[in-house]
Amino acid sequence: MAVETATEGLGPLMAFGVVGVLGVGSQWLAWRLRMPAIVLMLVAGLLAGPAFGILDPQRDFGALLPTMISLAVAVILFEGGLTLNFHHLSDGKQGVRRLVFAGAPLGWLFSTLALHYGAGLSWESSAVFGGIMIVTGPTVIAPLLRSARLSKRPAQLLQWEAIVNDPIGALAAVLAFEVVLVLQTATTVPEAIVDLAIGITVATALGFAAGFGIVQAFKRGQVPEYMKVPVLFVAVLGIFALSDNVLHESGLLAVTIMGIVIANSNLPSYEELLRFKEHATVLLVSGVFILLAAGLNLDGVFALDWRAVLFVVLVICVARPATVLLSLLGSSVPWREQVLLATTGPRGVVLVAVAGLFGERLVSLGFEDAAQIAPLAFALVAVTVVLHGFTLGPIARALGLTGGDKPGVLIIGGSRWTLALAEALQKADVPVLMSDPNHFRLTPARTAGISTFSGDILSEAAEHRVELVSYATVIAGTDNDAYNTLVTTDLGPEFGRDNVYQLRHPKAENSRFQLPTTLGGRPFGPDETYDGWDRLISEGWVFRVTQLTEEFSYSDWKTQRPEGVVVGTVAGNGTVKFVLDREDLKPAADARLIYIGPAD
């Protein structure tokens, strides 16, 4: 049987497979290389599409392509709304309000001016495209925040602005297009205003009604656990389609509002729903970005002249900073955070998808220059994704708005042995935070100069006051095994299952007390329970730190300290790894050992 060539097309099935492998593969490779995932997805899409012709979305998916992208964007925005819990915003509310109510109109104005005077588009095309450019791309912001490890408030401001302004940008484009349509057709201004008002009203009502209905059904037990996620998906797709049928692009507003209503309803299963939706969003963002990059018309991009470069420069260096700084003028947002926001404005999937749609509509009305909208949109996305992907982290670090260059350790439980471990980690230049619900148990730690948080690490107060982004590892070391299991299970998805540890269960050898592998963290240290650690400290054992060198190897240390037990290593870059199997331990030549042994 002959092998199908690229010119004959992959077919929908093979195309789906290629998109999935390229998208998720790019995400994984970016994690391995510590690079922004969006950059690699952009490169992968361009190589598979315009460069080698392996994937052609229009050819392989046909008329289904626009619908697929629209539905994917709807789910992405719904998941974004699902993360917007007003209780978690805390002191960033004023900044978000300014960026939405003042920033959206200002961004529309400055973007329109940049398009007209920079790219040379007509006022009509500039006004429509300028409305779309309000969006800053939640599909791009999320991966950037994950890699840059920003502090809580600037991360919240960027995330909320991106998610809330996305549907607003789409509706601004609808408003501008309706005005252009009035000027070009016999449609009257009142009719256009009525259509727009009806569309926004219907979208808002549908979003609130769907969100409220889902919440009530879930709270009253009318939907079983195994059907909650499928019901959510179907509701999102149905509400999006219904609202979009009333006014094009209003479906984005409807699903965003629906997500926000659910996020603020205190559903018992909210965390499980959110995590599943996050996983779905990673797949959808990867897929949509690969599709858009692979379907790019390079002829249109190459046809762009110096004015396109001027347009991109004006957006990045003038329009975005002016929008942010004027919006936050006189606010309580510190100047460092304002500078970070002003220099960070990546665009993403929604901009490209909506810009291409309205560009085609404007061309059909006789505005030939609107054919440049899609290439300009992709050029802006490509430049901002690459630029901010590599500069957000360094700028944030220079402004002191990251969790720190060295990943720290969060120790849950105040006791003699956890204090001794914390002091050893600090000697190894590892940032440490000790937490305990009992304020008095942390008194020795505070006396020793160790950072502490008095309260439940899973509480809402901890969400507001503890910068979890500063810590890469969790050790649950309280005398309550059930609490240790709860903490590591809850924090596992955020820190990664490989980075959460807990003390061994005192009765783990009995099958009746063994926990399922899905619960709890990895076992910490040697075969010691809480009482065992406490006994070692009582007998005079101490934690120490030893620097390995080419002259003093790990073998030399074992010869010198035969009774010492290594609990962890600190790499040259400050990364901490706690030891699970000491038999296979092979620390690097420049590593520092953290071990416990008898006092000299």
Give 210-222 pLDDT, tens digit per residue: 989 988 888 888 8
pTM of the model: 0.65
**CB 327, CB 99: distance < 8 Å:** yes
Please give the sequence-ordered ranges of beta strands (E in DSSP) within 428-564, or none if there are none. Answer: 432-436, 451-454, 471-476, 500-502, 522-523, 542-547
Continuous segment of H or E residues that includes residue 492 = helix 481-495
Q: Is the CATH number of domain 89-292+310-398 1.10.3470.10?
A: no
Residues contacting residue 432 through CB under 8 Å, at least 6 positions apart: 408, 409, 410, 411, 422, 425, 426, 450, 451
CA dihedral 584, 590, 592, 598 (to 10 degrees): 70
CA 158 to CA 140: how far, in whole Å? 11
- Per-residue pLDDT averaged across 178-206, rounded? 72
CA 300 to CA 374: how far, in whole Å? 8
CA 477 to CA 488: how far, in whole Å? 10
How distant, in Å, are the alpha carbons of 98, 202, 242, 261, 371 from that of 205? 24, 5, 12, 12, 35
- The answer on pLDDT for 100 being more than 70 is yes
Residue with the bigger pLDDT between 559 and 525: it is 559
β-sheet bridge partners, residue 411: 434, 475
pLDDT value at residue 516: 65
Lowest-pLDDT range, 79-83, 250-254, 344-348, 502-506?
Answer: 79-83
Collapse the DSSP code of 267 into the 3-class scheme (helix H, G, I; strand E, B; otherwise coil) and give the result. Answer: coil
Confidence band, pLDDT 50/70/90 cuts, at residue 183 = low
Share of the chain above pLDDT 90, in %: 7
Residue with the bigger pLDDT between 171 and 408: it is 408
Residues in the chain: 600
At CA 92, angle to CA 91 and CA 93, rounded to 5?
Answer: 95
Tell me the domain boundaries of the chain: 1-37+45-53, 89-292+310-398, 408-597
- Per-residue pLDDT averaged across 197-212, rounded? 85
pLDDT value at residue 511: 55
Could you tell me which of 328, 279, 282 has the C-alpha nearest to residue 154? Answer: 328
CA 216 to CA 236: how far, in whole Å? 16
CA 248 to chain centre: 28
Residue in the block written with tokens 């006022």: 123
- The answer on pLDDT for 357 being more than 80 is no
Residue in the block written with tokens 């010492």: 564
CA 378 to CA 581: how far, in whole Å? 49
Lowest-pLDDT range, 320-324, 345-349, 496-500, 536-540?
Answer: 345-349
β-sheet bridge partners, residue 568: 578, 594
**CB 502, CB 482: distance < 8 Å:** no
- The answer on pLDDT for 412 being more than 80 is yes
CATH superfamily assigned to domain 408-597: NAD(P)-binding Rossmann-like Domain (3.40.50.720)
- The answer on pLDDT for 573 being more than 90 is no
- The answer on pLDDT for 1 being more than 60 is no
DSSP-derived secondary structure for 233-250: HHHHHHHHHHHHHHSTTH
Lowest-pLDDT range, 9-13, 52-56, 487-491, 516-520?
Answer: 516-520
- Per-residue pLDDT averaged across 247-252, rounded? 72
φ and ψ of 453, to 5 deg: -130, 120
How distant, in Å, are the alpha carbons of 30, 35, 150, 240, 408 from that of 393? 15, 11, 8, 35, 17
CA 361 to CA 370: how far, in whole Å? 9
- Per-residue pLDDT averaged across 410-430, rounded? 89
Confidence band, pLDDT 50/70/90 cuts, at residue 434 = very high
Strands in 432-436's sheet, in edge-to-edge order, are 451-454, 432-436, 408-412, 471-476, 500-502, 522-523
- Per-residue pLDDT averaged across 72-93, rounded? 69
Share of the chain above pLDDT 70, in %: 84
- The answer on pLDDT for 526 being more than 90 is no
Confidence band, pLDDT 50/70/90 cuts, at residue 117 = very high
CA 500 to CA 481: how far, in whole Å? 14
- The mean pLDDT value of the chain amounts to 80
HSE at residue 195, side-chain half, CA atoms within 13 A, is 21
pLDDT value at residue 155: 79
Residue with the bigger pLDDT between 314 and 495: it is 314
- The answer on pLDDT for 375 being more than 80 is yes
CA 263 to CA 85: how far, in whole Å? 5
- In eight-state DSSP terms, residue 351 is H
φ and ψ of 545, to 5 deg: -125, 130
pLDDT value at residue 310: 92
Confidence band, pLDDT 50/70/90 cuts, at residue 89 = low
CA 300 to CA 376: how far, in whole Å? 9
- Per-residue pLDDT averaged across 147-161, rounded? 76
**CB 473, CB 410: distance < 8 Å:** yes
**CB 153, CB 91: distance < 8 Å:** yes
Report for 323-327, 399-403, 501-505: range of highest mean pLDDT: 323-327
CB-based burial of residue 540 (10 Å sphere; 0-12 exposed, 13-18 middle, 19+ buried)?
exposed
